[in-house]
Amino acid sequence: MPDLHGKTALVTGAGRGIGAAIALDLARAGADVVINYSRSQAQAAEVQKAIQSLGQRAMTVQADVSQKTQIDRMFDQIEGAWGPVDILVNNAGIEFRKPVREITEELYDQVMDTNLKGAFFCAQRALEGMKQKGWGRVINISSVHEITPTGFCCVYSMSKGGMRLMMRELALEYSRFGITVNNVAPGAIRTDINREVLSDPAYEAKVISKIPAGFIGMPEDVSKMVVFLASDEARYITGAVILIDGGLGLR
């Protein structure tokens, strides 16, 4: 496993699902981890305990990343306690399964503000500290739907498509400072957010039929790649999209 001892990582939306798996695997690699959550306080506390049981420092910080004022407060708290963030994982995200005609302005703003605006302003805040250190990692948890439409949430795809170009812009500007910026783009993953739709056997079979690998992934399939990208072993990878989708994006 890559060695991340001495590094401080912030994972947004880390109370459950993919975010929790990422936080735990970063800690297993030696990083101290900040677990950001918006509403899942109890779950974030469980992740914190699990990380501490591994012998690493862990801190929970509540912040709604759709609000820049809360992002700034979160970074002030982290930097005051532990110093600048070395590894930022922009994982927080939401989606609504609605046809275009049912997307209200409120729903549009919620998705775009959480998925794209939040990722941008978290990166903006982290990048300056990374630049001063001459080392940093920004890893965005995007989606296979940054390159292919969902068929069920237009605004979600729009937000992830924006994340792809945001990543490329940041990589172009900051890679010369020892900072890499990449997207990890999962396909169908068994998480809390997907549990309800995947509980329908017919729908699950339909999803699997579209995946060349023939199965639905687990959060750990994503988290292992994040740890690799966060390490010095991936120092020459920047501006890249890593699809973790069992081949779903090939369709």
Residues marked as catalytic: 156
| Dist CA 118 CA 9 (whole Å) | 17
Helices and strands, counts by H and E, the chain: 9, 7
Residue 89: exposure state from Cβ atoms within 10 A (0-12, 13-18, ≥19): buried
Q: How long is the chain? A: 251
8 A C-beta contact, residue 20 and residue 14 = yes
Distances (CA, A) of 69 to 75, 121, 144: 10, 10, 30
Three-state DSSP at 191 gives: coil
Q: Which helix (H) or strand (E) holds 59?
A: strand 58-62
8 A C-beta contact, residue 17 and residue 223 = no
CB atoms within 10 A of CB 218: 13
